């Protein structure tokens, strides 16, 4: 048995290395998928929040400066994660609202 191991030690070594690399790749790939799902979830929450707040101010017909900063903060995060479309359209509509001072 020892003679067999000595003769094929290099094959055993590389087989072990490849097994470890394969396991590491699988774990890394699962983490990437998990992070992608978390990003999608956060994007959905930001879209919902942006949608709700924009609809409120559009219906109200005006916005104050502090609320505009809040909407801008939500939109920037939403946009940085790849969101666009309805969120951008609503954000642009809120930007065009008259600003009332307190």
Does any domain span residue 4?
no
Is residue 27 assigned to a domain? Answer: no
What confidence score (pLDDT) does residue 39 get? 92
User: In the prediction, which pLDDT does 62 show?
Assistant: 95
pLDDT at 54: 95
How many other C-beta atoms are found inside a 10 Å radius of the C-beta of residue 95? Answer: 14
Quote the pLDDT of residue 102: 64
Say if 57 falls within a structural domain. yes
Domain with 69, as residue range(s), is 35-102
Instruction: Report if residue 77 sits inside a domain.
Output: yes
Instruction: Give the residues of the chain that fall short of pLDDT 50.
Output: none
**What is the rounded distance in angstroms from the CA atom of residue 87 to the CA atom of residue 74?**
10
Residue 50, Cα to own-chain centre: how many angstroms? 16
CB 50 within 8 A of CB 90: yes
Give me the number of domains the chain comprises.
Answer: 1
- What is the value of pTM for the model shown? 0.72
Give how far the C-alpha of residue 28 lies from the chain's centroid of Cα atoms, to the nearest Å: 17
Question: What local confidence, expressed as pLDDT, does residue 61 receive?
Answer: 94
């Amino acid at each position: 048995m020892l003679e067999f191991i000595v003769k094929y030690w290099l094959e055993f070594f590389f087989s072990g290395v490849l097994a470890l690399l394969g396991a590491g790749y699988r774990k890394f790939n699962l983490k990437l998928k998990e992070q992608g799902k978390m990003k999608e979830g956060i994007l959905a929450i930001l879209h919902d929040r942006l949608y709700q707040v924009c609809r409120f101010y559009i219906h109200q017909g005006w916005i104050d400066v502090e609320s505009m900063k809040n909407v801008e903060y939500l939109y920037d995060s939403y946009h940085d994660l790849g969101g666009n479309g309805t969120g951008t359209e609503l954000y642009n509509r809120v930007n065009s609202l008259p600003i009332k001072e307190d």
